[in-house]
Amino acid sequence: MSPRWAADLALGLRLALGGGGARTAWARLALTATGVGLGVVVLLSATSLPHMLAARADRSAARMPAAEAVGGVDPVFAAARTDEFRGRALQGYLVQPTGPRLPVAPGVDRLPGPGEAVLSPALAALLRSPEGELLRPRFSQRVIGTIGDAGLTGPNELYFYVGAGDVAGQPPARPVGGFGGEPVRRGLDPLEVLLVVLGATTCLVPVFVFVVASTRLAAAARDRRLAAVRLVGADRGQVRRIAAGEALLGAFAGLAAGAALFLLVRVLVPEIAVSAFRGGIFAADVVPDWRLGGPVLLALPVLACAAAVFALRKVVIEPLGVVRRGTRVRRRLWWRLLPLVAGGVSVLARPAGEDARDPFVIAGVVLVLAAVPVLLPWLVERVAGLLGGGSPAWLLAVRRLQLDSATAARLVGGVAVVLAGSIALQGVYARAESDQPPRGDVRVLATAFAPGFDDARAFADGLRALPGLGGVPVTTRGLLQNAAGELVSLVVGTCAELAVADCRDGDVYAGGQGRAAPGERLWSDGADRSDPPQWTVPVAGYHPAAADGAALLVTPAALATATGVGLSATATIPAAGPDVVERVRNLVGWNGVVSSLGTERDGTYALITRVLSVGSVLVLLFAAGSLLIAAWEQLRERRSTLAALTANGVGRGVLARSLLWQLAIPVAIAAVVAVLAGLGLDWLLLTLVVHRPMVADLATIGLLTATAAAAVLLVTAVTLPALWRTASPAHLREE
């Protein structure tokens, strides 16, 4: 950079701080820095997602039990348990030590022995709180410590290690010599990839739209300063470099403000509990990927400078003032359609067999969304030119739009992009939801592991003693293997429960699928065949082909000679209140599993949809915030005009309604464009990329459009106090 260029840029920086009065200059800088800073926060947060997911996956893999034997370490029997408490996931391991030299789990000083427990800090706090009263019966053990961050995926995760003396006989227990494994990740299907690509683009494109718009704040005051510079001898090239220097100051201030806000977000993020991430997010995991974020952040000042210089193309800055081109040139449409056409061609030109991760598809999505703010100025100009007379508020608003339609279009450009992307995103949601299996009736499945029939009967009696569950049927089953390794399933029950005619206790009935013959020796699933059999099918009382379905129907007395045969008692409970479900979980304890049926959804799909839902809300808030900032700046620039109107008898109500119309008309146009662009992008991606029929969710489209309208009303309401101050006749004295 030549010394002259550097001097011009430096002069622009000084003018941005001091031109037009220190107070006004700092207010202008604060508005620009806030707009750019919000964009920086969104960009840094988005580029932190890969590291955050990888860190969570690494810690989750580090605590996975490893079956390999380790020298000098006494293995422990470990059985995974997944539970729930009032909708919050609860998971961990039951462990049974076999000696004093225990393996080391991440974040744990030592594994617990029988009657002991190690809990995550969030679980320990929940048990101490009144909310955890119904959870305490499941954790009656003595707590000997808490799990550190290295053993948790997030600060709010409910995780545990519980010591017990009978883990070895519980499924799916296995001996563990240490901890650590590879993360288990499944690939994304085409619709999920499309959700990720479309969601990320929808979240990021509005940021760039507003960064460009924020550099155009206070354009009139800037033009007056540049005219003064021309008066003292600056040429047109210097004027453009000075304008770039002013934009640089706002961009750099925005970078600093965004970095500070991002650090604040990192501090606060562990306190935020959202369903998108089970267990919350550690602050240390929110680390931007500078390979992605660095070039983008460096491009922001360049983008700001380019936008500032480009804005001068229709402005003639002369020593005696600023002249905007007197002959109004109607905006041309043809070049504004180029991004839209290029986006469609990019999607069509993708190599055969590639999914939404292909650069052609990503470029197509970006171009289609970017075409929305490019088209808006032309459309707002044309529609405003067609609008006629009406109330004074309407006339003021329409005349303002006719004089400066570009500013109004820039104000709503970010909202339009968010709306278009959200509509396209919801279309993919609807398509993905229609591909999911239908939800069944919600009910609870409770399974208790029992070493014998008496224990299974005790579980059934305890379950039926709970309020409202007296008539719940309970089925007791077992699974054995014969010498050939073939599985033999058992249903164990009294004669009344088995509903077999002429039944006596001690009888065995072979079903149509039975593989066990009288006198055949059976072992538990996975048992060593060199050991004695755990049960021999009795010869007396054996009745072949007496029942259909299960391999063997067994009465309790027939198992009198069995040793170590594990049974499971299962009950399907109709939908019940949350307290009843928690009491069922307490009854089962850690000797079984309680799960909800009819609400299953794939975990990866659920994670993607939750994250994108949260991201869409945040970006919508960002768009509303950018609209508010731009509206405040417009009021500040027009304070003399508004003061003159007030001094001439125009009431505050007229000005307020005028402000509402000035925002509502461009938003209505933007909503139409956004709906068409969103549906078009939806059709393009679903039909041509993943080859699925398009699903139009009209209710969601209406809701999103209504949300955009609500944003206009909210911005208008929030700016009213600033309007009253700005319209004061005292501002007639200001230039």
pLDDT surpassing 50 at residue 510: yes
Q: List the helix and strand counts (H, then E) for the chain.
A: 18, 20
pLDDT in tens, 366-388: 888 888 888 888 898 888 888 87
Read off φ and ψ for residue 318, nearest 5 degrees: -115, 165
Q: Residue 208 corresponds to which tokens in the numbers above?
A: 């760039």
pTM of the model: 0.69
pLDDT band of residue 735 (cuts 50, 70, 90) is: very low
Cα 33–255–637 angle (5° rounding)?
A: 15
pLDDT surpassing 60 at residue 298: yes
pLDDT value at residue 435: 62
pLDDT surpassing 70 at residue 159: yes
Residue 291, judged by CB atoms within 10 A of its CB (0-12, 13-18, 19+), counts as exposed
pLDDT value at residue 334: 86
pLDDT in tens, 670-697: 889 988 988 888 888 888 777 778 777 7
CA 364 to chain centre: 23
pLDDT value at residue 613: 62
SS3 159: strand
509, containing H or E segment: strand 508-511
Mean pLDDT (whole number) for 698-702: 79
Residue 327, judged by CB atoms within 10 A of its CB (0-12, 13-18, 19+), counts as exposed
pLDDT surpassing 80 at residue 107: yes
Q: Residue 299 corresponds to which tokens in the numbers above?
A: 């491009």
pLDDT surpassing 80 at residue 235: no
Lowest mean pLDDT among 131-135, 437-441, 525-529, 591-595: 437-441
Q: Residue 678 corresponds to which tokens in the numbers above?
A: 């969103």
Lowest mean pLDDT among 90-94, 295-299, 473-477: 295-299
| Percent of the chain residues topping a pLDDT of 70 | 79
| Nearest partner of 343 among 324, 359, 320, judged by Cα | 359
pLDDT band of residue 25 (cuts 50, 70, 90) is: low
Answer positive or negative: Cα dihedral of 7, 10, 16, 22: negative
pLDDT in tens, 389-405: 778 888 888 888 888 77
pLDDT value at residue 152: 92
pLDDT surpassing 70 at residue 512: no
pLDDT value at residue 438: 53
DSSP β-ladder status, 174-176 and 116-119: unpaired
Q: What is the largest CA-CA distance in the chain?
A: 116
Cβ contacts of residue 233 below 8 Å, gap of 6+? none
DSSP string across 116-134: EEEE-HHHHHHHHSGGGGG
Can you name the residues that pair with 446 across neighbouring β-strands? 571, 594
Lowest mean pLDDT among 72-86, 520-534, 668-682: 520-534
| Percent helix, percent strand, percent coil in the chain, to nearest 5 | 55, 15, 30
- For the chain, the C-alpha Rg in angstroms (whole number) is 35
| Nearest partner of 712 among 599, 630, 608, 609, judged by Cα | 630
pLDDT value at residue 162: 93
pLDDT band of residue 600 (cuts 50, 70, 90) is: very low
pLDDT surpassing 60 at residue 327: no
CA–CA distance from 285 to each of 43, 58, 144, 262, 281 (Å)?
Answer: 16, 11, 28, 13, 7
Cβ burial 308-321 (10 Å sphere, 16+ → b, else e)? bbebbeebebeeee
d(CA 459, CA 568): 10
pLDDT surpassing 80 at residue 481: yes
Mean pLDDT (whole number) for 621-647: 73
Mean pLDDT (whole number) for 509-526: 77
pLDDT value at residue 599: 46
pLDDT value at residue 325: 45
pLDDT surpassing 60 at residue 134: yes
| Nearest partner of 156 among 61, 273, 266, 62, judged by Cα | 273
Number of residues assigned to the chain: 735
Q: Between 440 and 672, where is the model more confident? A: 672
CB atoms within 10 A of CB 113: 18
pLDDT value at residue 187: 56
Task: Work out the mean pLDDT of the chain and round it to a whole number.
Answer: 78
d(CA 94, CA 114): 10
Residue 415, judged by CB atoms within 10 A of its CB (0-12, 13-18, 19+), counts as buried
| Nearest partner of 594 among 472, 461, 448, 465, judged by Cα | 448
Q: Between 321 and 290, where is the model more confident? A: 290
pLDDT in tens, 646-657: 877 788 788 888
Q: Residue 314 corresponds to which tokens in the numbers above?
A: 């229709």
pLDDT value at residue 121: 94
pLDDT in tens, 453-470: 888 899 999 988 888 888
CB atoms within 10 A of CB 171: 14
Cβ contact 384:666 at 8 Å: no
CA–CA distance from 44 to each of 37, 184, 196, 266 (Å)?
Answer: 10, 27, 17, 11
pLDDT surpassing 80 at residue 118: yes
DSSP β-ladder status, 174-176 and 142-146: unpaired
pLDDT in tens, 237-281: 777 777 777 777 878 888 888 888 888 888 888 877 655 556 788
pLDDT value at residue 445: 82
The verdict on whether omega for the bond into residue 359 sits within 30 degrees of 0, i.e. cis, is no
CA 25 to chain centre: 39
pLDDT value at residue 218: 60
pLDDT surpassing 60 at residue 439: no
DSSP string across 353-416: T--TTSHHHHHHHHHHHHHHHHHHHHHHHHHHHH----SHHHHHHHHHHHH-HHHHHHHHHHHH
CA–CA distance from 203 to each of 124, 421, 629, 721 (Å)?
Answer: 37, 8, 19, 31
d(CA 639, CA 347): 47
d(CA 153, CA 171): 25
d(CA 636, CA 401): 17
Can you name the residues that pair with 444 across neighbouring β-strands? 573, 596
Cβ contact 429:544 at 8 Å: no
| Nearest partner of 6 among 242, 249, 305, 252, judged by Cα | 242
pLDDT value at residue 124: 93
Strand ranges inside 206-362, DSSP E:
315-318, 321-324
pLDDT value at residue 716: 78
